[in-house]
Each structure stands twice: as C-alpha cells, then as structure tokens.
A and B are shown apart, each in its own frame.
Chain A
Amino acid sequence: MIRPMLALQEASPIPFFTMDGEMDLLGGWLICFLTLSVFSFLYKDNPFYKIAEHTFVGAGTAFFALQYYSEGILEPLYVHINHAMQLPAGELMQLGGYGVDPTYAIIFRSVAVLFSIFLLSRMVFPNGWAPRWPLAVMVGVYAALKLTGETQSKLVLQVASAMQPLTNPEKLAWSDNWVAVEETQVFYTFANTVMVVGLICALAHFIFTYKRTKILGGVSRVGIIVLMITFGSMFGFTVLGRYALLIERVDTLGGFNNQDYALFGTSALSPPILLTVLIALVLAVSLRGKNSTSTS
C-alpha cells in the first residue's frame, strides 16, 4: 500500500529497501510505527502495543539466541575442536596461554559437548541427574570467580582506598577566592573526614548481630542519613537516565519528520505525524464507549 504512494516521490534520495547499511523508507516507517505503538501503551493497553510487545519478544529472543548459538556454542565447541584437529603435527593448542597437545584439547572440549547434551536433556527429563552436572560446573566456576575477584577488588582494594590521609601537602593552605575553595587544605580535610566518618557510620548500620546500644544506635542513625543521601543521588541520576532515553526516541522520530520519508513528499504526511494521527484515531474509535480506567 505504501510502496506505490512512496514511488510517487521521485525526488526522494532514499531507497525503498536496502541492506547496504543506509536507512531505507521501509525501515523508517517501520521504526516510527513500532516506536509509536509502544508509546500508545501510555494511553491504554491496546492491539498496537500488543503487536509491538510480541514482536519485541520474538525478535529479541531470536536475536539473542543467534548470538548465543554462534558465539557461545559454535565457536567454543565446533570451531575450537576443528581448529585443534587442523593444527600441523607437533604444534600445540594454546589454552590460556599454555600449550597442550591438541588431542587433549579435543578430549577436554568433547566433555563440554557431552555436558551440553546433559543440560539439554532437561527438556525431556526435568528432574534427571544429567542436567545437574553442567549446572554444578557453572555454579562452581561462577562462585569461585566471584569469590576471588570481588573479594580483592570490592573488599581489599575498597578498604585500602577508603584510608585517605586527612591532609594533602599539594593543596593550598587557604584561599580567599571562593572559586578555588575545593583546592584548599581545609576543604580537603573536611571532605575526607565526611567520607570516612560517613563510611564508618553506614557500615555500623549494617551490623545486625550486635545489640543496638545508644552509641551504635546513634552512629547507625548517621549511617542512615548517609545512605539516604546516597539513594537520593541514585534517584536523581535515574531520572537523568530515563529522560535521556525518552529524548533520544523523540529525536529519532524527529529525524524521520521530513520530506524524504513523507508520502507524496509532503511534510505533513511524514511517518511520525501520519502514524501518530492514525494510531490515535484507531484507538479513539475502537476504545470509544469502553471503560478506560487507569491506575498508578
């Protein structure tokens, strides 16, 4: 339907359909339709949104599946074993930088193939013993990786970086200039004291195995204040992030609001405008008379 109408605009430099990486007319209309269909949910759940939602789940699942299949199954199993088989005689296969005989490399990876089949057997025997083996390998590997890496970087190094000196000889002794206040010794000492005291208080708040005496209770209360300011700043940043996404969507729709994408080359019939009006009309007609309640 759109095709012949778009064909009327000979002046449009944009092709109807292309796969060479550039945006095409079909793509432009599709993007606008799907974007506006999702936004239509803000008014009420409706068929446009449902189409968009189910297309999203279908396309997303398929895209992810293809990625996991090609990069997580084909490459480490098929390509790896194939690579080991084709190595010239006498050459070693590198595993983490350590050369091993290709035969061993093939045997090791064949066990992974076997375990993958065990995992897939869950589809047929959900409570069988076989899927537990690869699951156990995953649990062990993840637990150990988290245990070692996070303890070092998030405990040891965090404690070390929290031990700040309270003075810094590179800072200015004093400044009458308000602009340079962050560069003064007084500010440095004050700020780092706030951080260390704040940290100790917040940590004290997390002590649940000790009776809340007056002192611990007081320290913990300061800790709560620190944590509340932390959560407040997280909230502020969350708002920043969400609006960045919305503005980008509006920007994208705006990008298609020009003659090149419009029907008959008329700006008023550009995809975002035309589709907004169409979707709004269809919704208004189809939902007329129906109870449209909305809750927060």
Chain B
Amino acid sequence: MKREIPILLVVLCGLAITWAFFSPAPMSRAVNDELLAWGTVFFSVAFLLGISNLVRISLKQISSRHPDWPYKLLLLLVLFGYLLIGAAEIHGWFGIPGGENIRRDWIYKRIFMPLQATMFSLLAFYIASAAFRAFRARSLEATLLLTAGALVMIGQVPIPSFFPFADWIGDTSVRLQGFLMAYVNAAGQKAIIMGAALGTLATGLRIVLGIERSYLSE
C-alpha cells in the first residue's frame, strides 16, 4: 500500500501525459488537462507546506532565546501581517472589497521589490572580489575562459568615443564576440543541451515506467 499505489499512480499519470503528447484524441487532452491542473494544485499546496517549516523553526528559535530571536519575531510579524492583509483583500474581510490588490501591491513595491533587487545586486561586489582573488590563468583552458569572458564583456558594451581607436575596438570586439557567441558558444551550449536532454529522457523513462523509485525513499 505504501509503495505499490504511489508507483501505480506515477506510471498511470506518466503514461497519460505521454499519451496526450502523441495523440490528438479529445479524451486524452481532457485527461492531460485535468492532470496538469492537479499538478499546479499540488505544487501550490507543497509551497504552503514549506511555510509551516519556516514558522516552526522560527518559533523554536524564539522560544529558546536564540541570539537572533528578535529578528525571527520580526520575520513572523511581517509574514503574518502581510498574510492577513492579503487574505483580507482576497476574501473581502474587514470591509475591503474582495479581489483588490492595492494593499498587497503597496507592500510589494516598497518592501519586497527593493529588498529582492538589492539582495541580488550584492553579487556585483562579490564577483569583483572573486575576479581579483580567484581567477588565475594557470592553464590553457583557464586562459581561454578568461579571454572569452573579457572579450564578451568588451563586446557587449559601448566604447566611449574618447578612447584611442574607439571605433576600431568597438567594431572588432563586437564582431569577435559575435562570432564566439554564435558559433563556438552555440556549439558548447548545444552539446550541454543534448547531453542534458539525453539524461532527462533516460531518467524520465525510468520514472514513467516505474523502474526509478528513489523518490519514495524516506
């Protein structure tokens, strides 16, 4: 019961979706659509399940007076405060017309948006530090990697006109990196894509045919 039914479900769902790929029959499309809708629902439920973990860990740290506990409290306050406002907008609680999103958008634009954008922009600083400390042209391969990187960096940006030979540098770097990207990089990318697709095909087949069962491990 604990193993057989899940394996049966995997095989049945997998075969139904594969069937719909090859068959234009209306029935197969209906089954396909329904199963995909289930997929989106379970995907969303799984996300909500993840929140319970976050809350549990934060509560544990607050109760054990972890050095960061005031921040964990802030996290929970922001989390539940935003959830409450959002739920009120979705369901029309506290006299708010249902279906609105102006309050959610206000918080999104003034809190979430700047924070996420800035978090990711920090990497610009770390990539510079890494460039100075870690990137060494120790071998032919490493030298090629760095040279190609430098060429792309120059070829993707405008060269200020007061630079000596600005036009020539601009034109040459754009064309050289254009060639590298369109032919050499494309060859490497194609090899990676084909290799990954073969891997996906093999793993996918093993799962759909019920041979691969590692997802059931506890």
Chain A residues close to B by CB (< 8 Å):
19-21, 26-27, 30-31, 34-35, 38-39, 41-42, 50-66, 68-74, 76-77, 80, 95-98, 100, 108-109, 111-112, 115-116, 119-120, 122-123, 127, 129, 132-151, 154-155, 158-159, 162, 182, 191-192, 194-199, 202-203, 205-206, 223-240, 242-243, 245-246, 248-249, 252, 296
Contact = CB atoms under 8 A, between A and B. Distances in A.
Contact of B37 (A76, A143, A149, A162): A76
A231 B111 CA distance: 35
B188 A237 contact: no
Nearest to B44: A72
Given A65-B47, A139-B215, A229-B145, A59 B29 contact: no
A120 B45 contact: yes
B118 interface: yes
Please indicate which of the listed interface residues B82, B125, B146, B150 has the most CB atoms of chain A within 10 Å of its own CB. Answer: B82
A30 B113 CA distance: 11
Interface string B36-63: 1111111111111101101000000000
B76 A95 contact: no
Contact of B149 (A34, A151, A236): A236
B145 A62 contact: no
Given A68-B48, A115-B38, A239-B153, A155 B75 contact: no
A228 B117 contact: no
Contact of A198 (B114, B184, B215): B184
A76 B40 contact: yes
B46 A119 contact: yes
B71 A51 contact: yes
B34 to A, nearest CB: 5
Given A97-B29, A236-B151, A146 B115 contact: no
Contacts of A133: 5-6, 9
Contacts of B127: 238-239, 242
Interface string B165-188: 000000000010111111111111
Contact of B38 (A70, A96, A112): A112
Given A58-B75, A144-B13, A226 B187 contact: yes
Contact of B124 (A122, A197, A243): A243
Given A54-B72, A143-B204, A194-B183, A59 B14 contact: no
Contacts of B82: 58-59, 62-63, 66
A150 B197 contact: yes
Nearest to B89: A66
Interface of B: 1-2, 5-7, 9-18, 21, 26-27, 29-30, 32-49, 51-52, 54, 68, 71-72, 74-83, 86-87, 90, 102-125, 127, 129-131, 133-134, 140-142, 144-153, 156-157, 175, 177-198, 200-201, 203-205, 207-208, 215-216, 218
A103 to B, nearest CB: 14
A225 B141 contact: yes
B182 A191 contact: yes
A145 B17 contact: yes
Contact of A66 (B36, B41, B83): B83
B78 A58 contact: yes
Contacts of A162: 190
Contact of B121 (A136, A228, A248): A248
Contacts of B118: 34-35, 38-39, 249
A237 B156 contact: yes
Nearest to B187: A198
A245 B177 CA distance: 23
A58 B77 contact: yes
